[in-house]
Amino acid sequence: MSPLALLFLTLFNSVLGLSILFPILGPLGRELGLSEVQVGLFSTGYALMQFLLSPYWGRRSERGRKPVLLVGILGFAASFLLFGLFALLGQKGVLPPGPLFPLLLLSRLLGGAFSSATLPTAQAYVADVTGRENRTAGMALLGAAFGLAVILGPALGAGLASLFGLLAPVFFSSGIALLNALFVYLVLPESRPEGRKEVERLSPFDPRVFPLLLLGFALNLSGVALEQTIAFYFQDRLGLTGVETARSVGTALVLYGLVAVFLQGFLVRKAGWPPRTLLLLGLPVGLLGFLVLVFAKSFPALTLGLALQGAGAALAGPGVTAGLSLAVGEGEQGLVAGLNSAAQALGRMLGPIVGTGLYRLAPEGPYLLGVSLLLLALLFLPALFRRVRL
């Protein structure tokens, strides 16, 4: 099996362990006596640590990719084990909600701190094992691993919770991470060639990378704002009950994910399009998806808008990641991957706050934000292409 295929399995397992928790954090928090705001802080804190530490891990990976991957995966496993143990003590009444919340939050902060090592190191690994002409296809394969895990993880988490209780997915995630670490240790080869010249620092304001980092942040901010509000939007637009909303949104999100996986896992890799082409295709398609959502008033129309937005993100995302990799030298791959992960984490951190805040002002607000951001990106693409060779 090729190093790239092995890395696909590594990242898939890592994201699967995280996405398994998506359907259970809310009900678990209520069972433990926590408020919705406190449960929301688990995700915000997780993303904050990724924002702060991704550049560090990316820079550290220049000394060797495999050790950083192992540290990230093992730290992830330990943090989820701690989260599960603290929550179990809360279920049994040993820890009341007062002291329980800071302990759970601490475990999530540790999880974000260590998991922030995985994605930038994986992106740098791809740069190590692919030539410049195959860089975009390699980055798209990482996106497909991420998307496939996000599709399968929530279904697996819901199934485990229904069979064995709400904490089963938490301990399962920790176990998956331990097995993943063993897989990396035994099977995945080191990709960092010895003797490469290392660059100690790379500023996010470096003109080679700043425009693409800003574009990646905009894509993540608009995408997360959509994800955080789409269930409310379906329910309000279609007048659905809670159960009907869960069924309708679940169906639409599966299609959303399948479109992204197909585009990144097959079309982008087979077509071999450069980052310039992916951005020129992805941004208008994503913009159209947001526009359809603004005016949609039926389930097919809402699902179409969601699928179009997913398709646009699936094309533009690898364009940004591959563009950043190609914009810098071979000794800067870990550094730029760390900055890219930090920009994405900032979008994930602000997206829920911005999205829900805009939704309270007007239900179409989060999607009008997406329209505005992608339109601005399209207008500035010519200037980007003049500054950065893609």
| Shared-domain flag, residues 8 and 111 | yes
Is residue 365 located within the same domain as residue 259?
yes
Please count the other Cβ atoms lying within 10 Å of the Cβ belonging to residue 133. Answer: 10
pLDDT(173) > 60: yes
Distances in Å between the alpha carbon of 381 and those of 22, 147, 275? 35, 26, 12
Same domain, 154 and 11: yes
Give the pLDDT score at 283: 96
- The rounded distance, in Å, linking the Cα atoms of 286 and 283 is 5
pLDDT at residue 136 above 80?
A: yes
Structure tokens at 55: 């550049």
Question: Are 102 and 9 found together in one domain?
Answer: yes
At 267 the pLDDT is: 87
Confidence (pLDDT) at 358: 92
Please check whether residues 162 and 275 belong to one and the same domain. Answer: no
Q: Are 142 and 11 in contact (CB under 8 A)?
A: yes
* Mean pLDDT (the chain, rounded): 89
Residue 93 lies in a domain: yes
Residues 179 and 219 placed together within one structural domain of the fold: no
| pLDDT surpasses 90 at 161 | no
Q: What is the Cα–Cα distance from 300 to 387, expressed in whole angstroms?
A: 41
Q: Is residue 195 part of a domain?
A: no
DSSP string, 300-326: HHHHHHHHHHHHHHHHHHHHHHHHHHH
Is pLDDT at 121 greater than 90 in this prediction? yes
Q: Which domain holds residue 145?
A: 3-187
Query: Can you say how many angstroms the Cα of residue 207 is from the centroid of all Cα atoms in its chain?
Result: 25
pLDDT at 243 over 80: no
What is the pLDDT at residue 196?
A: 56
Token code pair at residue 162: 């229904």
Cα separation of the two ends of the chain: 30
Same domain for 33 and 136, yes or no, is yes
Predicted pLDDT of residue 193: 66
**Over 90: is that where the pLDDT of 339 sits?**
yes
Query: At residue 219, does pLDDT exceed 60?
Result: yes
What contacts 295, CB < 8 A, 6 or more positions away? 301
* Distance between CA atoms of residues 286 and 308, nearest Å: 6
Domain count for the chain, please give it. Answer: 2
Looking at per-residue pLDDT, the higher value among 293 and 97 belongs to: 293
Q: Say if residue 94 is in the same domain as residue 25.
A: yes
Q: Quick: pLDDT tens for 255-272.
A: 888 898 899 888 888 888
197 inside domain: no
> Tokens for 253?
């999100």
- Region 40-67 average pLDDT: 91
What is the spatial distance between Cα 365 and Cα 82, in angstroms, rounded to a whole number? 38
305 falls within a domain:
yes
Report residue 361: phi and psi, to 5°.
-75, -45
Q: Do 244 and 278 reside in the same domain of the chain? A: yes
Looking at residues 244-249, what average pLDDT do you find? 79
Lowest mean pLDDT of 32-41, 176-185, 229-238, name the range: 32-41
Same domain flag for 42 and 167: yes
| Lowest-pLDDT choice from 70-84, 242-256, 265-279, 291-305 | 242-256
DSSP per-residue codes, 228-246:
HHHHHHHHHHHT--HHHHH
How wide is the angle at C-alpha 153 spanned by C-alphas 149 and 159, nearest 5°? 155
CATH number, residue 256: 1.20.1250.20
- Helix, strand, coil abundance in the chain, percent, nearest 5: 85, 0, 15
d(CA 268, CA 170): 34
Q: Looking at residue 189, what is its pLDDT?
A: 92
Give Cβ neighbours of residue 114 (< 8 Å, ≥ 6 apart): 71, 72, 74, 75, 76, 78, 79
pLDDT of residue 325: 92
Query: 247 and 168, same structural domain?
Result: no
